[in-house]
Chain A
Amino acid sequence: MKLSDFVVPEAILADLQVESKTGAIRAMVEALKNSGAIKPEDESSIVDAVLKREELGSTGIGNGVAVPHTKHPSVDRLIATVALAKSGIDFASLDGEDVFILFLLVSPPDRPGDHLRGLENISRHLRNQNFCSFLRQARSGEEVVELLTEADGDQLN
């Protein structure tokens, strides 16, 4: 499973400027709606579902990364978007640090393995220092897409 298989290029936010975790999640789901990947009528229930998942435990997984996610019946395949927050956002991560890189995933309820595989994929790439630092320096959605493609092709090692 490649990052470019499920990240929606038009929904990428290369310069997310929000004050809160909730603001970040709303902005990313809105971006998915604006890109057409999710329907407008599903936007608020997806935001609610992602926030509900956060209540079970923060998806700030450390190292400046957060992976908010949910299952939702409105999607028939895994979709995701990426947001880069240059000023950092408090995501109540276990390591106490702000997050600068966010991947938001929405997956179909009947395919539980999909979002786990998506998360594993994302983690694997994020362990690559080059990927992380280039991502944090990206200034546009296009640059992020290029980076994801290079990561998929193992070209960043």
Chain B
Amino acid sequence: MSQDSAIRREVTVKLLKGLHLRPLAMIVRMAMQFDSTITLTNGSKTVNARNQMDLMLLNAGNGSKIVVEAEGADAPQAVEEMARLFDSDFDGDDLIDT
């Protein structure tokens, strides 16, 4: 994505189990609501936020710093909503035993 038009925000994983399947599915469902291209980056690994299998490769444990990047007409909302999701408890994920 070009540097100029992409919107970027750093978020932190605040889940005891890290970004496992369940929160990843929530990320995919969130990403699907927007037209923008959305990626997540952990270290040097960047993946498409709409692809759950790719998201699993992020290997993002508790405390990981993730960069959310979106490009497109609704990029600001996409980044905002994604950041809000990371700030939330992913619907009580820590309390659920999967």
Indicate if the CB atoms of B17 and A112 lie closer than 8 Å: yes
Indicate if the CB atoms of A65 and B17 lie closer than 8 Å: no
- Residue picked from B18, B21, B29, B96, most chain A C-beta under 10 Å: B21
Given known contacts A57-B22, A59-B21, A123 and B57 CB-to-CB distance under 8 angstroms: yes
Give per-residue flags for A53-77: 1 if the beta carbon is below 8 A from chain B beta carbons, else 0.
1001111011101010001000000
Question: Measuring CB to CB, which residues of chain B are less than 8 angstroms from any residue of chain A?
Answer: 17-18, 20-22, 25-26, 28-29, 32, 51-54, 56-57, 59, 96-98
Can you list 25 pairs linking A and B with CB atoms under 8 Å apart? A53-B98, A56-B98, A57-B22, A57-B26, A58-B25, A61-B53, A62-B52, A65-B53, A67-B21, A71-B98, A94-B25, A94-B28, A94-B29, A94-B32, A95-B52, A112-B17, A116-B17, A116-B18, A119-B20, A120-B56, A120-B59, A123-B53, A123-B56, A126-B53, A127-B57
Indicate if the CB atoms of B96 and A62 lie closer than 8 Å: no
Indicate if the CB atoms of A120 and B57 lie closer than 8 Å: yes
> In the complex, A123→B59 CA distance in Å?
11
Question: Measuring CB to CB, which residues of chain A are less than 8 angstroms from any residue of chain B?
Answer: 53, 56-59, 61-63, 65, 67, 71, 94-95, 112, 116, 119-120, 123-124, 126-127
Q: How far is the CB of B25 from chain A (nearest CB, A)?
A: 5
> In the complex, A71→B60 CA distance in Å?
21
Instruction: For A58, list chain B residues within 8 Å (CB).
Output: 25
Apart from A56-B96, A61-B56, what 20 extra A-B contacts exist at CB < 8 Å? Answer: A56-B22, A57-B22, A57-B25, A61-B21, A62-B28, A63-B51, A63-B53, A71-B97, A94-B29, A112-B17, A116-B20, A119-B20, A119-B56, A120-B56, A120-B57, A120-B59, A123-B53, A123-B57, A126-B53, A127-B53
Indicate if the CB atoms of B21 and A127 lie closer than 8 Å: no
- Residue picked from A53, A61, A120, A127, most chain B C-beta under 10 Å: A61
A-B pairs with lowest CB-CB distance, top 6: A123-B56, A61-B52, A57-B25, A61-B53, A62-B52, A94-B28
Instruction: For B18, list chain A residues within 8 Å (CB).
Output: 116
> In the complex, A57→B54 CA distance in Å?
17
Instruction: For A120, list chain B residues within 8 Å (CB).
Output: 56-57, 59
